[in-house]
Amino acid sequence: MSPQTQQSRAFVAAGLRTAAGCLIHARRITALGLPAIAAFTLLGGCPPAPPGEADLPSFANGTDKTNASASYVGSAACKQCHSDIATIYANHSHAHAITTIRGAAPTFPNAAQTGGVPNPPDGFSWANISYVIGGYSKAARFINQNGEFLTTGLTSVLTQWNLPFDPNGANAEFASFLPAATGATPLDFNTFAPRTTGPVRRTDENPLSQDNRPGIEGAWFENGAQCEACHGPGGNHFFTAAGRVVIDRSRIFVDPSGDESCRQCHAYPFGDTSGEIAARDGFIAPLQQASELSASGAHARFSCTTCHDPHHSIVADRGSAIRNECGACHSTQNMAGHRGAVFERGDYRETLTCESCHMPFAVKDASSATAAVAGPAGRIGDTRSHIFRLSVEAADHTAFLTDDGGSVRRDPDGLARITVDYVCLRCHNGQGNVFSLTVARAAEIAGRVHDFPE
């Protein structure tokens, strides 16, 4: 049995005590019921190392010892027995991270709310498109039949479809995408690897291109981050012997720490462990939650699944997606003078939570607020940050980022703090129902907000 699997059993049995001594849930046991727990408790012994492991192609799960030599079978096979999880998971962004286009617009479970991706860029038809990247919870980008991105630089039209995002005032509309990219822009490994299951990089020995599209720098087994992206190839987990279906639990990988799954995709480049947090356009670049977390101080040692349920989506079901809210551990922390406060700007309303300040939209995937929404100094991207620590210095994003703006500045301990222009000035900027603050004034108050009377 792998150390990780053993750790998961201990978690389930005992729960997890924080430094502060609060009992938190390693899993939402009440929501899961007994059979799922039994799956962990009744685990068998350590399987012998299978032969030929060194000869495996370098799949993302090549480090996964428990199912080495197994083949991918696809999420439809898993669904036959795990229909409960598969049904929930069908609404996760993971399942829709990349979509094959077959002459018509892609379909998403939430298209009624977002409007989906109704059209390809101006001058193109769906017949010109092979894949759409995103489009479910974040902006869509388009891949041509050659396997290359449609960039604004090459096509001279807007080639990114933004979804509406109320916190920063973005509308569903086309926007510029890579205006400087005037040559062919291949679909590179670092872009498709976190959006697919079983990705392989194109190399001289392995000259693969998905569907033989030369612009795609490698290949994958299944679209989206599906079951086997985290659990490893499942071909040895079930088989038929003497006419009966046999399940081998030891031949499916469970990754409670997320080191072999979450952290590989939620870092850039794919699998990066340097902790470097890339930035561009005055915001943190997307899909780097593992690196952000490493700069977050006390939370740095948490697994993603300390807070997240691995199968439930924040977009589709926020209530089930977070298994430990802030209050589960910070039960004595107050609301920093903002308990019950409601921020309003036009039709947008937000009741303040801990996340309103500690997980501000300091990350930009596709859209950010204009001055008409954020005022002259406020900054609002479209994705919450996982740095959690807030600055109380009279400084703005130019101090948060390195001089060239290419990454987040970290102190000698590797930690970072988000400046008040992303935090307080997201609301206190003159555009909503609250008074304006300058960077200097916000910083001065920030140092004592948790001392405000409740």
Residues 214-273 that bind ligand HEC (CB under 6 A): 225-231, 234, 237-238, 245, 247, 249, 252, 254-256, 258, 261-263, 265-266
Quick check: 141 binds ligand HEC (CB under 6 A)? no
Quick check: 442 binds ligand HEC (CB under 6 A)? yes
**Of 396, 387, 448, residue with least CA distance to 426:** 396
Judged by CB under 6 A, the chain residues 319 through 338 that form the site for ligand HEC are 321-322, 324, 326, 328-330, 333, 335-338
Amino acid 423 reads: V
Identify which of residues 156 and 333 has a Cβ nearer to ligand HEC in the complex.
333
Quick check: 170 binds ligand HEC (CB under 6 A)? no
CA pair distance 102, 131, nearest whole angstrom: 9
Candidates 29, 175, 314, 399: give the one binding ligand HEC (CB under 6 A): 314
Quick check: 207 binds ligand HEC (CB under 6 A)? no
Do residues 329 and 343 touch, judged by C-beta distance below 8 A?
A: no
What is the separation of C-alpha 38 from the centre of its chain, rounded to a whole number of angstroms? 29
CA pair distance 268, 275, nearest whole angstrom: 9
Quick check: 446 binds ligand HEC (CB under 6 A)? yes
Provide the token pair at 157: 């039209």
CA pair distance 302, 296, nearest whole angstrom: 10
Amino acid 300 reads: A
Quick check: 1 binds ligand HEC (CB under 6 A)? no
| Least gap, CB of 411 to ligand HEC (angstroms) | 11
| Least gap, CB of 199 to ligand HEC (angstroms) | 8
Contact characters 336-375, ligand HEC, x per CB under 6 A: xxx--xxx------x-x-xxxxxx----------------
Q: Which stretch binds ligand HEC (CB under 6 A): 49-57, 73-81, 152-160, 183-191?
A: 73-81
Do residues 57 and 261 touch, judged by C-beta distance below 8 A?
A: no
Quick check: 40 binds ligand HEC (CB under 6 A)? yes
| Least gap, CB of 346 to ligand HEC (angstroms) | 14
Task: Count the alpha carbons within 13 Å of 352 in the hemisphere toward its beta carbon.
Answer: 18
Quick check: 36 binds ligand HEC (CB under 6 A)? yes
CA pair distance 186, 147, nearest whole angstrom: 7
CA pair distance 209, 223, nearest whole angstrom: 14
| Least gap, CB of 128 to ligand HEC (angstroms) | 22
Do residues 404 and 397 touch, judged by C-beta distance below 8 A?
A: no
Quick check: 9 binds ligand HEC (CB under 6 A)? no
Quick check: 131 binds ligand HEC (CB under 6 A)? no
Look-up: residue for tokens 């079951």?
Answer: 227
CA pair distance 338, 332, nearest whole angstrom: 15
CA pair distance 352, 335, nearest whole angstrom: 8
Do residues 360 and 49 touch, judged by C-beta distance below 8 A?
A: no
Candidates 1, 105, 175, 392: give the one binding ligand HEC (CB under 6 A): 392
Amino acid 336 reads: A
Q: Which stretch binds ligand HEC (CB under 6 A): 112-120, 178-186, 210-218, 389-397?
A: 389-397
Quick check: 379 binds ligand HEC (CB under 6 A)? no
Q: Which stretch binds ligand HEC (CB under 6 A): 44-52, 113-121, 273-281, 417-425?
A: 417-425
Identify which of residues 55 and 413 has a Cβ nearer to ligand HEC in the complex.
413
